[in-house]
Structure 1
Amino acid sequence: MTVLITADVPGQTREGYDGMLKVLSGPIKRAPGFLMHGAYESEDGGWRVFEVWQTMEQANQFFAQHIAPNLPPVVRPKRKAQQLHSCVQP
């Protein structure tokens, strides 16, 4: 089932997010099950990231293999998952 992953990332900076995106934009586009990614600066000064994946397993696998190993020690995302009722794609 398609899932929406949201992550609040306290302590993340614009430079830190942009650096991660630069490194990970290629691999995420090729990741099995990846549908979309977006992010914005949150009200508390950190970042909020959201992604849509075909399955939770695919999202977790990508996070474990590509994101977690590249995070600075002080940056720990608080991830949440929600199964989607619908997901319209082109």
Structure 2
Amino acid sequence: MAVLISSKVKGQTLEGYEGVLSVVKDLIKQAPGFILQCAHPTDDGWAVMEVWESRKDADQWFAQYVVPHLPPGIHPKRSYQELHNVVCL
């Protein structure tokens, strides 16, 4: 069952988000279980949403590739929702 991971990243800046993305963008496209990612600024940071085939795939990816590149003091708050359906282009 696919899962939606919603991350609230309080204190994140455009530069911080772009910095992490520049390191992982090409790698995430090849990650086992990855389906899509989207992000937008919020009043107090950034919101990042990802869809993965499983929570396990998402958590392994996040720990290995994202956490080491987060700016100091940035700690995303992640929540999970199992999805009933995913339709992509």
Give your verdict on TM over 0.5.
yes
Query: In structure 2, what is the Cα distance between the partners aligned to 1:71 and 1:14?
Result: 12
Q: Which runs of 5+ in 2 are unaligned?
A: none
User: Displacement, 1:30?
Assistant: 0.6
User: Displacement, 1:19?
Assistant: 1.0
Summarize the alignment of residues 4-83 of structure 1 with structure 2, pairs less than 5 Å apart.
4-44=4-44, 46-83=45-82
Across the aligned residues of Structure 1 and Structure 2, the Cα RMSD in angstroms comes to: 0.9
Q: Which amino acid in 1 is paired with 2:79? A: K
Q: Which amino acid in 2 is paired with 1:47? A: W
Q: Which runs of 5+ in 1 are unaligned?
A: none
Query: In structure 1, what is the Cα distance between the partners aligned to 2:18 and 2:67?
Result: 16
1:60-85 deviations in whole A, cap 9, x for unaligned? Answer: 00001001111123000000010001
Identity %: 49
